[in-house]
Structure 1
């Protein structure tokens, strides 16, 4: 699938709904959007994915939100979005790309590691502290966040 990935300047309701699928905390999304680089992926002029990159340290860029439209998942779009994030980071002198995900997010963990990210830590109780509602994923209550990093050479 040949995607068109470009800068997202005007966030529509469709973009926001997609962002909320990946992260149900509207406050955190809004906070991130204020100081992030936002991108959308389209295919045949249809929105298929979003990517939000946040500078967290002088040489570190974090993927704070990555989401693919449910009907378009498992087609390589997430992989292409992560490859775009890596290229963007390299082109803008970042040396490290980071991402966090739930310990119950098995598909995402597989994708991130397949793309070269390595586990560097766990934020215990992240989701119980920062989210008002309990999140259940893969029939498990989500509590902890796994932090992954890819060093860009």
Structure 2
């Protein structure tokens, strides 16, 4: 049985292997992933020494932006995504950041629900973000992912 208490979240060390298999579940572009990994920090959620989730954030002044957040499909729907967002919120607060931002596609219905339940509010829409920045069309829930919806949460 999998429980939230059996998990740990920690920053991935530079010498450790990057879990591209998970990163690619949330972002199909290796180029985009490598771009934000080069300036961001990667936090992994582990259970029994297996990475089951992660998030990557990039710092910009007093703001943190989560660029990638994902839970392995076999662990989804059990509260692990919520736990990752709570960890990012906590780390951001104790490190003095004022805002935590996250973007998702217009077709990402479950993610929009989760982020708003965790205190994020819609802040902006970047029109045609996914059709401009990704070569292959992305579909979720039978909807083409075209626009980036930016959400933010105040930390202070």
Indicate which of 32, 36, 43 corresponds to 2:36: 32
CA distance in 2, matches of 1:109, 1:73: 15
SS in 2 for 1:129: helix
1:118 aligned partner: 121
SS in 2 for 1:27: helix
Give 4+ residue runs of structure 1 displaced > 6 Å after superposition.
none
Matched, 1:149 2:149: no
Structure 2, unmatched stretches of 5+, are none
Quote how far apart the aligned CAs of 1:11 are: 4.9
CA distance in 1, matches of 2:31, 2:75: 27
Indicate which of 84, 94, 104 corresponds to 2:97: 94
CA distance in 2, matches of 1:11, 1:65: 18
State the TM-score, normalizing by the size of structure 2.
0.93
Structure 1, unmatched stretches of 5+, are none
Quote how far apart the aligned CAs of 1:12 are: 2.9
Q: CA RMSD in A?
A: 1.0
2:58 aligned partner: 54
SS in 2 for 1:17: helix
Quote how far apart the aligned CAs of 1:145 are: 0.7
Q: Could you give the per-residue CA deviations for residues 94-151 of structure 1, whole angstroms, max 9, x where no partner exists?
A: 1000000001000000000000000011000000000010001111111001000001
